[in-house]
Structure 1
Amino acid sequence: MTPAIPGFDYRRIPVATGVSLNVAVGGTGSPVVLLHGFPQTHLMWRHVATDLAADHTVICPDLRGYGASDKPTEAGPETYAKRTMGADIVAMARALGHERFALAGHDRGALVAIRTAMDHPSVVSHLGTLDVLPTLDMWDVMHGAGAAVGFHLYLMAQPPGLPEQLITASADAFFGHFLDLWAKDPTAIPPDVRTAYLAACRAAVPSIVADYRASAGIDIEHDRADRTAGNQLQMPVTVLQQNWGAALGFDAAAIWRAWAPDLRHVTVNHGHFMAEEAPVETTKEIRALLIR
C-alpha cells in the first residue's frame, strides 16, 4: 500500500487541459501550499504538513509530471516550464476555494514556487524555499570541477532521447543515488517511503527529464526577463539552504537579496532533505514566515 499523509484527504484536481494533480489536503485555517522536490513526491512533507494542519489548511500536491499526478507528453519547452507548473498550482488552489495562499517548496518544487510568486504576486502571500537558488543563478554558479555535484542537471538538459534512455535503463540506481548522497540522516527516509519515491520516479522518467530540460532553457529565459525588468519577489521570503557557497564559491544570501528585499536567509547544517531530516526546525521557520 502506498504511504499517505496521516489524516489528509486525497483528491484529483483538474488544473489544465488533460492535466489533473494528485493533491493531499488537511487541516483548517489560512491556506499553505507545500511543493515537493526531486526525487520525491508530496510525501516528503508528511511531518511538516501534519504539524501545520493544526491551524492551517495544508495542501500538498504532486507536481505535474511527478508522483500520481498526470504526466503530459513534452510537446515543447512550455509543457514543463516552471511558469506552466506554477499556473497549475494557482488553478489547484482556486479549485479548492483559495484565491490567495502561502507557498513553500523544496528543490524542484521551490523553483516552481519562485516562478509562481514572480508571476502571481497578488496570489502568493508568503514564500519559503528549501535548498535552491533561482534557476538563472543556479546555472551561473555552476563551474569547474565543483559542478560535478550537479552532473544530473547537465545530463537531463540534453535533447530528448539519450537522457531518458540512460536513466530508464537503471532508474532505481539513478534516483536512489540522490536519496543516498544528499541525506545526512538516511533514517529520515524510511524503507516504505523510499520504495514509494523510487516507484514514482521509475514511472515518470520522461516527465522528470522534461522538467529539468526546461530549467536549462525556457526557465532561464523567464528569470532573465525578470532580472532585466528589475522584477523582485514582493512578499516576505524565507530561504533555508545548505552552505553551498563554501564548496562552489558564492554568497547565497547575497544572490537571494537581489531577488527578495524582505528576506530571511538561514544556513542549515543538516542534509538536503530538510523537511524529512529536520522537520521541527523546518516547520518552525515556515510558521515564523507566516506571521511576517
Structure 2
Amino acid sequence: MQLNGFDYQRVQVSDGVHLSVAAAGSGDPVVLLHGFPQTHLMWRHVAADLATDHTVLVPDLRGYGDSDKPEDTGETYSKRTMAADVVALARAFGFEKFALAGHDRGALVAIRAGLDHPDAITHLASLDVLPTLDMWDVMHGASAAVGFHLYLMAQPPGLAERMIGAVPDEFFGHFLDAWIQHPDAIPADVRAEYLRASREAVPSIVADYRATATIDITHDTADREAGNRLRMPVTVLQQDWGAALGYDATALWRRWAENLDHRTVSCGHFMAEEGPAEVIKALRDLLAR
C-alpha cells in the first residue's frame, strides 16, 4: 500500500542501510515518523493535509516496513542511530533543517534527534510516549501490565524473537485491538499491511525495543546528567496515562523541554488515525510557533 499522491524512493542513510520514504508537497520540510506496530501508512490523513503547504517526508524507520533491517550489533537500533538516519534522509532531499513529528517508537527517535541534532530540528512533536528514562520510572505494579511487551522484548536475543515469531499476527494484532478506541480508524486493508510488515520484521522490532532497555538508557542518562534539553518548540500529545500510572506527564516533560505545549487527546493511542483533525491542528499550531 502507498500514500495517495506521494512519490516513493529508497534513500541510503548510512553504509548499507536504505530507508523507504514517501515524499510530496513543497515548502518548509516536515518529517513524520511512525510507531509500533505500524508503518508510514499511519500518517496517511495527516501527511496529505500537511503536504498542501509543506514538503512532507514519511519514511519507514529502519527495521520496519519496507526499509532495510540490518542485523543488530548492539547499537544498530539505538535511537541515536535511528535519529541519524532521519537527519541523513532530510539532507538527501536537500534539507539541513526540518520539523519532526513522531508517534510511539518514532517519537523516541524524534526526541533523540532533537537532543543530538538541535541545529537541524526546528520544531518537535511527540505523540503518546514519555522519554525513555521517565517511561521506565513510571512503569511499576499491576498498572504496568499494559507494557508487558516492553519487558518481553528487553530480554537477551533469542527468546522473544521465537515467542513472537510463533504467533506474530496474534501478538501484533493484540496491540492494534487493545490500544484503540475507534477500531474503524484502521481499515481492514491497512491492518493487514501492518500485520504483514510486522510479521516480516520480528527480529528488528525486538532489537528496537531491546535498545530502549539498554543503550538508549545510557544515552538518555548522559543527557540528563549533563543537563541537555530540547531547545526547539516542542508539542506533546498524550492520552491521560498519568491518571492511571500516578504521574504528572507535563512535569516530566518540562525536565526535557522548556518551550512545551502539552495536550491530552480524547482518542486512543493511534491518534493520527483516530483523531487526525486534532493531530493536524496541534502540528500546525506547533509549526506556527
Which TM class, normalised by the smaller chain length? over 0.9
- Quick one: distance in 2 between partners of 1:140 and 1:221? 14
Q: Which residue number corresponds to residue 19 of structure 2? A: 21
Amino acid at match of 1:163: A
1:131: Cα distance to partner? 0.2
**2:89 maps to amino acid:** M
1:97 match: 94
- Which of structure 1's runs of 4+ aligned residues deviate more than 6 A? none
Partner amino acid for 1:6?
A: N
Which of the residues 215, 221, 238 maps onto 2:218? Answer: 221
d(CA) in 1 for partners of 2:116 and 2:143?
A: 32
User: One-letter code of the match for 1:256?
Assistant: W
Counterpart residue number, 2:178 = 181
> What SS class does the counterpart of residue 76 from structure 2 fall into?
helix
SS in 2 for 1:210: helix
The within-5 A match list for 1:118-197 is 118-197=115-194
Q: Which amino acid aligns with 1:280?
A: A
CA deviation profile, 1:130-182 (whole Å, cap 9, x unmatched): 00000011000000111110000000000000000000000000000000000
Match for residue 287 of structure 1?
284
Partner of 2:109: 112
Report SS of the residue matched to 1:79.
coil
1:204 maps onto 2:201 in alignment? yes
Matched AA of 2:25: G
Instruction: Note the aligned Cα RMSD (angstroms).
Output: 0.4
Structure 2 gaps of 5+ residues are none
Residue 120 of structure 1, CA deviation: 0.1
Letter matched to residue 154 of structure 2: A
Please list the CA deviations of residues 10-52 of structure 1 after superposition, one character each: whole Å capped at 9, or x if unmatched. 0000001110000000111100000000000000000000000
Aligned equivalent of 1:12, options 5, 10, 21: 10
Unaligned residue ranges in structure 1 (runs of 5+): none
- 1:80 is paired with a residue whose SS is coil
Map Cα deviations across residues 232-276 of structure 1 (whole Å, 9 max, x no partner): 000000000000011100000000011000000001121000000
Inter-partner Cα distance in structure 1 for 2:5 and 2:25: 9
Alignment of 1:230 with 2:230, yes or no, is no
| Whole-angstrom CA distance in 2 between matches of 1:253 and 1:268 | 13
Counterpart of 1:74 in structure 2 is 72
Give the distance between the partners of 1:80 and 1:156, measured in 2 at CA: 13
**Aligned ranges for residues 12-91 of structure 1 at < 5 Å?**
12-76=10-74, 78-91=75-88
Given residue 59 of structure 2, which amino acid in structure 1 is its aligned partner?
P
Number of aligned pairs?
289
In 1: Cα distance, 2:284 partner to 2:195 partner: 30
Q: Secondary structure at the match of 2:151?
A: helix
**Structure 1 match to 2:249:** 252
Normalising by structure 2, what TM-score?
1.00
Q: Distance in 2 between matches of 1:275 and 1:182?
A: 13
Q: When the two structures are superposed, what TM-score results if normalisation uses the length of structure 1?
A: 0.99
- Shift of residue 58, structure 1, vs aligned partner: 0.3
